[in-house]
Structure 1
Amino acid sequence: MTETPLVRIASDTLSAAIDPYGAELTWLRDAEGRDLMTDADPAFWTGRAPILFPIVGRVNGDVIRVDGIEYPMPKHGFARHTVFAVVRQEASRATFRLVDSSDTQDNYPFHFLLELDFVLDGATLIMTARIGNSGDVPMPVSFGWHPAFAWPLPYGVPRADHRIVFDQDEPGRLKRITEEGLIAWDERNSPVEGRTLVLRDALFGDDALVWNPIGSQRLTYGGTTGPTLDIEFPDTPMLGIWTKPGAHYVCVEPWHGIADPEGYEGEFRAKPGIFELAPDEERHIVMRVTLTS
């Protein structure tokens, strides 16, 4: 893994650091310096907030097919293992850029721009992905956020008393992930009661909880008392929530994309969850995290 200096930003309420390697949010802290993100314990998972591009999850056989040609594609794509250029650095804002290269063309035969913008505005972290097609053919792509928040949050509420509350009822069944990391044909019952998901390790014995689609565009995560995190994801129609049982984090993952259905051997353009950008077209995908008291 490449070691790169962290880029730090701050507001009067929050501070954060982003690693140019993967444009990964590495820590987020409150005004007293308390960590709001994972401890990255290697016994469970050392990730913190990887950027998922140009796929979310795993593709069948770890390859994508573009115009009948197969290209190797690692789980969650290559952006999380690539150094981004720092193109803007201010007291409360930093922007990171990745463009296609001969290396990326080996996996993904498209000309692209991917910018990640991080802004601290008071008690809110605003993360914006700018995805552009700089080529001359339509570009199929997926994108996902994957931040791991502290479970429990550092406000004295026991881990067992943490929950996620959606902004609307979520009665639908969930997708099931196979042992190979693909989307199973059968679904699983939802553990959400109305709008509330009470977090417990047993929920994650079979990998992530996956909503496709998710009706909500906002949720609150935290303990039954004390400060919470208000998380908004207005541009992503899917959601994953994941941890490893016993770990000190829970990932809230808004996605515009999803793993392959088991057995999928079709074209990348036809893959579920893909959106397509015309030449010179851009799309912005936003996630906001607000510390509320």
Structure 2
Amino acid sequence: MTDTHRFGDSRLAATVSAAGAELSSVRDGAGGEWLWQAGPAWPRHAPVLFPLVGRLPGDVLRHGGREHRLTQHGFARDRAFTWRARGEAGCALRLVDDEATRAAYPFPFVLDLEWAVADGTLSCTATVSNPGAAPLPFSLGAHPAFAWPLPGAASAEGHAVRFPGLDLPALSARRLSGGLLDATETIPLAGGSLPLHQGLFDADAIVLPDFSGRRLRYEGPGAALEMGWEGYGDLGLWSKPGGAAFLCLEPWSGTTPPLGWDGDFAGKPGITLLEPGASRAFRWWIRPERA
């Protein structure tokens, strides 16, 4: 039986699983489901990416002259978290290092996830702590997949992502080759919005390193999803190449490395180094809206 917890109120309800601390449902007061329901096109809902966003060359983590096998997006999404709290308005879960994690990632760590619903808003706060005696290198990312079309929309047409407060004529994006950062692509915006169509993701994810925005609006006919984040400095947009009924909106701290890089993990471009005894919090939130 799946170990899950449902929480929220009459305006918004969410479900989180102990498996990966993964969000699996976001329903509004009218019963509309805003989260992708892990269909055949992609079997996940909203995995937590830790201690890696993207992948390493050959899936090999190099540190201190040794090699460890660490696969794409890390292991947190596939591990059982421990419940620390469960209530009507939210829940808290924890993952700590053990023998299995240290075989892939030779560092002590504590990863706490706290989910909460308040005033029609769902928030997720991730806190990474370093109980070790040396700096802790890590990346962290959110990977929630939202319904495309949005609830109430008749089709996938007429959807866009808008970046409020940014006067951008285009996005300067990085594309992927073998899961690693490759060429830069300029993606035009229309009135500050990115019109969505399935061909947009034929070349895989749109990666926006060092993105200046901290908020976006995913909009469709009759519905919109506002999203914001703190602590994360990068952004990814993704849907399954070839077409699928979801759009991933992904705040990240760190990205997959560029082609040609193959060094020590602690020196990976964009890595976060957390000093011994320190903690760092990262937060993202969403607010669904119906017309």
What range is the shorter-chain TM-score in? over 0.9
- State the distance in 1 between where 2:35 and 2:3 align: 19
Structure 1 residues 228-283: Cα deviation after superposition (integer angstroms, max 9, x where no partner): 11100122111110001321110000110111211221111110121111011000
User: For the residues of structure 2 that align with 1:172 and 1:14, how far apart are their CA atoms?
Assistant: 32
Asked if the contact 2:171/2:188 (under 8 Å) is kept, the reply is: no
Unpaired segments ≥5 residues, structure 1? none
Whether 1:195 aligns to 2:183 is no
Deviates more, 1:242-251 or 1:71-80: 242-251
The whole-number CA distance in structure 2 between the counterparts of 1:143 and 1:265 is 20
Cα distance in 2 for residues equivalent to 1:172 and 1:151: 21
Q: Deviations over 1:138-184 (max 9, x none)?
A: 10110000000000111235311111001213434211100x11111
Q: Does 1:240 align with 2:274?
A: no
1:156-167 aligned within 5 A: 156-167=153-164
1:240 alignment partner AA: G
Query: Normalising to structure 1: TM-score of the pair?
Result: 0.95
1:30 maps to 2:23: no
The 5 Å alignment of 1:178-217 reads 178=177, 180-184=178-182, 186-217=183-214
Matched residue type, 2:174: K
- CA distance 1:215–1:194, shift in 2 (3 Å): farther
Give runs of aligned pairs for residues 1-293 of structure 1, distance below 5 A. Answer: 4-42=2-40, 44-167=41-164, 168-170=166-168, 171-178=170-177, 180-184=178-182, 186-223=183-220, 225-244=221-240, 245-293=242-290
The Cα shift of 1:191 comes to 3.5
| 1:69 Cα offset (Å) | 1.1
Aligned-residue offset at 1:64: 1.1
Query: 190-199 or 26-35, which moves further after superposition?
Result: 190-199
RMSD between aligned alpha carbons? 1.3
Closer, same or farther: CA 246–265 of 1 in aligned 2, 3 Å? closer
Aligned partners of 1:153, 1:104: CA distance in 2, in Å? 37
SS of aligned partner of 1:65: strand
C-alpha separation between the residues in 2 aligned to 1:104 and 1:169?
A: 43
What displacement does 1:136 show? 0.8
> Secondary structure of the residue that 1:160 maps to in structure 2?
coil
User: CA offsets per residue over residues 48-100 of structure 1, 9 Å max, x none?
Assistant: 00000000011111011111211110100000000000110000110010001
The alignment's TM-score, normalised by the length of structure 2, stands at 0.95
Question: In structure 2, the residue corresponding to 1:233 is in which secondary structure?
Answer: strand
Runs of 4+ more than 6 Å apart: none
By percentage of residues, which structure has more strand? Answer: 2
One-letter amino acid of the counterpart of residue 2, structure 2: T
**C-alpha deviations, 1:5-30, integer Å up to 9, x for none?**
21111122111111111000011110
More displaced 10-residue stretch of structure 1: 3-12 or 62-71: 3-12
Pairs aligned (count): 287
